[in-house]
Amino acid sequence: MRIAEFDYPLPPASIAQEAIEPRDAARLMRLPRREGPPTDHVFRDLPRLLRPGDLLVVNRSRVFPARLLGRRDGGGAAEVFLLREVGDERWEALVRPGRRLRPGAVISIEGGLSAVVETAAVGTEGRRVVHLRTESGPLEAALERAGHVPLPPYIRRPDRPDDRARYQTVYARENGSVAAPTAGLHFTSSLLDALRAAGLGVAELVLHVGPGTFRPVTAVEVEDHRLEPEPYLIPAETAEAIAAARTRGGRVVAVGTTVVRALESAAGDEATVSAGAGETDLVVRPGFTFRIVDALITNFHLPRSSLLLLVAAFAGRERVLDAYEQAVRRGYRFYSYGDAMLLE
């Protein structure tokens, strides 16, 4: 199957540049997986759209302020985009301008923070290892002070202080993502309480989102696309909650594509999930057999993206692309700060 089959036209005005307030006022398109037209709702309608006994599974990974702006030795501007910690205050990172920052170069960042480039660029992206240093206090605190929210490139404005809260789910707890698990951005504490009061369960897992979430699929054939491994953790209580939901006839409702990939990566025999930590490079594409997830809450995704492949695998390419076309006509807002879909 060719990636060109997962393209669609999107007017720039449909790409959300701001988060809607309150969170649960976002619009929600409900799309049956098999047949029937999409219907329009508001996200706070979820307690009456889902069924008592259903289990929502959310990703509690927290976005850390991964983007550092500073000045290099010669005085020019520089940027360090942190990807993952490799130990001893050293991080794998993307550094710009890449050609001018050789091993040994020092980038001075506000708040008494500095980054020393330790390795030459590797790979097509030019990844480096940088050593972060702080004049005083814990490094994590310095990063929180000096770092910027890593908004995706299609949000064409500088990050603002309010993005620190809005580009974060209300249940985020564990640092590690460089992009938000965006389906969860629509939940409020009161909505979660309302879901529980309606007889639904809520369970958590962790999958730290890497930079691959921003990348389009470049392979001509979708079967040739590969994803970078991302770490995940499924707590024992979440695996037990899934088993209990199955026993009572409830559905597993994944909040976001990250939850789908974690659960399906940990799927065992007879629709069970194995608790524990691991890494996943699972690419979910049309033809995939879902063993755990029965319903999906997700945002509207980029053309030619692995996320769109996953949604098409869940509900069918033609149904999904037709729903996207209708969403554009109906004025839905797309991508990270946009509206959501419920596929069931």
| Residue 135's pLDDT band (cuts 50, 70, 90) | confident
| Domain total of the chain | 2
- Position 152 in a domain: no
Pick from 118, 131, 124, 136: which is nearest to 68 by CA? Answer: 131
Residues 180 and 305 in one domain: yes
Residue 271 — very low, low, confident or very high, per pLDDT cuts 50/70/90?
confident
Query: In this structure, is residue 154 part of a structural domain?
Result: no
**DSSP states of 59-89 as a string?**
E-EEE---EEEEEETTS-EEEEEEEEEEETT
- Split at pLDDT 50, 70, 90, the class of 98 is confident
Question: What whole-number distance in Å separates Cα of residue 257 and Cα of residue 211?
Answer: 15
AA identity, residue 104: G
Pair of tokens at residue 234: 């499924």
- Calculate mean pLDDT across residues 266-277: 92
Reference 276, options 287, 267, 288; nearest CA is 267
Task: Express each pLDDT in 41-82 by its tens digit.
Answer: 999 999 999 999 999 999 999 999 999 999 998 889 999 999
**Judgement on whether residues 113 and 254 belong to the same structural domain of the protein:** no
- The angle subtended at Cα 260 by Cα 257 and Cα 266, nearest 5°, is 145
Domain holding 327, by residue range, is: 3-63+165-343
Q: Is the pLDDT confidence value at 30 over 80?
A: yes
Three-class SS of residue 167? coil
Q: What is the pLDDT of residue 122?
A: 82
> Is residue 240 within a helix (H) or strand (E), and if so which, with residue range?
helix 236-247
Lowest-pLDDT choice from 190-194, 227-231, 250-254, 335-339: 227-231
> What whole-number distance in Å separates Cα of residue 253 and Cα of residue 248?
14
pLDDT at 312: 99
* pTM score above 0.85: yes
Verify that 179 and 280 share a domain, yes or no: yes
Residue 204 has pLDDT above 90, yes or no: yes
From 100-109, 172-181, 321-330, the region with the lowest mean pLDDT: 100-109
Residue 292 lies in a domain: yes
Mean pLDDT estimate for the chain: 96
Read off the pLDDT band of 108 (50, 70, 90). Answer: very high
Same domain? For 195 and 327 the reply is yes
